[in-house]
Amino acid sequence: MIDSFYIAWKYLLFGKARSATLVACITLIAVLPLALEIILDESEHQLVERAEHTPLLVGAKGSALDLVMNSLYFADEVPQPVTLASAEEIAATDLAFAIPLYVRFQARGFPIVGTTLDYFDFRQLRLAAGTPFGLLGECVIGAAVARQIGLKPGDSLLSSPETVFDLAGVYPLKMRVAGVLAPSHSADDLAVLVDVKTAWVIEGLVHGHEDVARSRDSSVIIERSESNVTANAKLMQYTEITEANIEAFHLHGDPAGYPLTAVIALPHDDKAAAILRGRYQDTETPYQIVPPADVIDTLITNIFRIRNVLDAVILFVGLATLMALVLVFGLSLRLRQREIDTIFKLGCSRLTIAQLLGAEIVIIAALSAVLCLLILSVVAHYDQQLVRALFI
């Protein structure tokens, strides 16, 4: 038996290209559906887990999917804004805690997530280094952000302008990295977390500049009266918040009117959740309240429809390939007819010849299985990253 495997192995080595093609075909047939299964399972797991851990989201009326994808996975599509007053309204009901979210800006391609320190407790985020953001202008970066752009606590990160053509817009803010998150294998790994007030600084709603009441630079002051000083755009605003200039930073107007993209509502219990949802059923309200799990469930259902199509395609391709393989084997037997006759004339029985051919098939199948396992283990190892790169 071992002799049969030895001769079969030597034969396969003799026709390396043919053997490699056969191994590749069988491996692909096996790997494609299984790898797809792993990736879809992981994407489902990631989407559903994060959604299920987020009881309710309140945002402006519009696409619930955009609201959920922006708030949970920090997707680029920014929903219509709500105001800080909406978060205060939720808190005032005594039915739920409210965590504000403002996910609109980016820093070096990573989303800036404006929120409060409560978000860390809510998502159970741990710091691998440094401290939580303390002063205005500080940020905490996700593990993947730190790894990809090589930042550590004490370094700086510049916010990106929303458009390159916004020449008269607000200046980018140089943020100090206060801490780095430990990997959480979620969208938070790829986020730059800041206090929501820092996000408003990036937008220009909160800003710092020299005291215009005391400024003697006539090229900056347009008009000065007893009760008002009007400055022009030359008035330099601070682009970095330090202990020296933090006193100069101030809010404009009532913070209750400041924008948010969503509010995470954490109801005290199921009854409170039901009452809270009821309050947003009014058609007149500018808000919508959505359980992210429901939205993601709909999305998953759609993904599964696509999955069924993909499975069918893979099944047909697999069948066709298998038939091609059978044909290849059949043709190769025909091509090897003289070779088989020679073996027979050398005194080998028909059973031995069958053993030799069987050993070739077993070796090819075994090599494909090993290769398949290797590829699947790599896919399984990097499934979270693959899912985030492909879907989220």
Partner 1 sequence: MNSPVFAGEGDVTVHMMRRSILALMGFLLVLSFPLLRAAEPLTVYTVNYPLQYFTQRIAGDHARVVFPAPADVDPAFWMPDQKTIGDYQRADLVILNGADYAGWVSKVSLPRLRLVDTSKAFKDGLVTVEGTVTHSHGPVGEHSHTGTAFTIWLDFYQAVQQAEAIAEALSRKQPEHKADFEQNLAALRKDLMGLDLEIQQTVAKKPRQLLFASHPIYHYLARRYELHIEDMVWEPEDMPNEQQWQLLRLAQERFPADWMLWEKQPLPKIVQQLDSMGIGIAVLDPCANRPASGDFLSVMRNNIANLKQVFAD
Q: What is the DSSP letter of 223?
A: E
Least distance CB 211 / partner 1 (angstroms) = 9
CB under 8 Å to 332, separation ≥6 — which residues?
A: 18
Specify the residue, 38 or 117, whose C-beta has the smaller distance to partner 1: 117
Specify the residue, 67 or 193, whose C-beta has the smaller distance to partner 1: 193
Q: Is 101 helix (H, G, I), strand (E, B) or coil?
A: strand
Residues that bind partner 1 (CB under 8 A): 97-100, 116-118, 121, 131-136, 138, 168, 195, 197, 204-205, 209, 212-213, 227-233, 235, 246-247, 249-253
> What is the rounded distance in angstroms from the CA atom of residue 82 to the CA atom of residue 289?
12
On whether the CB atoms of residues 256 and 83 are closer than 8 A, the answer is yes
Least distance CB 146 / partner 1 (angstroms) = 19
Give the tokens for residue 357.
């051919």
Task: Compute how many other C-beta atoms are within 10 angstroms of the C-beta atom of residue 380.
Answer: 16
Specify the residue, 22 or 114, whose C-beta has the smaller distance to partner 1: 114
Specify the residue, 23 or 193, whose C-beta has the smaller distance to partner 1: 193
Specify the residue, 250 or 334, whose C-beta has the smaller distance to partner 1: 250
11 alpha-carbon distance from chain centroid: 48
Tell me the residue type at 71. S
Least distance CB 43 / partner 1 (angstroms) = 31
Task: Compute how many other C-beta atoms are within 10 angstroms of the C-beta atom of residue 232.
Answer: 10
Specify the residue, 33 or 81, whose C-beta has the smaller distance to partner 1: 81
Specify the residue, 230 or 342, whose C-beta has the smaller distance to partner 1: 230
Task: Compute how many other C-beta atoms are within 10 angstroms of the C-beta atom of residue 349.
Answer: 10
Least distance CB 190 / partner 1 (angstroms) = 21
On whether the CB atoms of residues 140 and 132 are closer than 8 A, the answer is yes
> What is the rounded distance in angstroms from the CA atom of residue 383 to the CA atom of residue 38?
7
* DSSP per-residue string spanning 38-69: HHHHHHHHHHHHHHHT--EEEEESS-HHHHHH
Least distance CB 372 / partner 1 (angstroms) = 48
Specify the residue, 79 or 137, whose C-beta has the smaller distance to partner 1: 137
Q: Which residues pair with 157 in a beta bridge?
A: 175
> What is the rounded distance in angstroms from the CA atom of residue 300 to the CA atom of residue 305?
9
Please provide the distance, in angstroms rounded to a whole number, between the alpha carbons at the two ends of the chain.
Answer: 52
Least distance CB 180 / partner 1 (angstroms) = 16
Least distance CB 234 / partner 1 (angstroms) = 9
Least distance CB 292 / partner 1 (angstroms) = 20
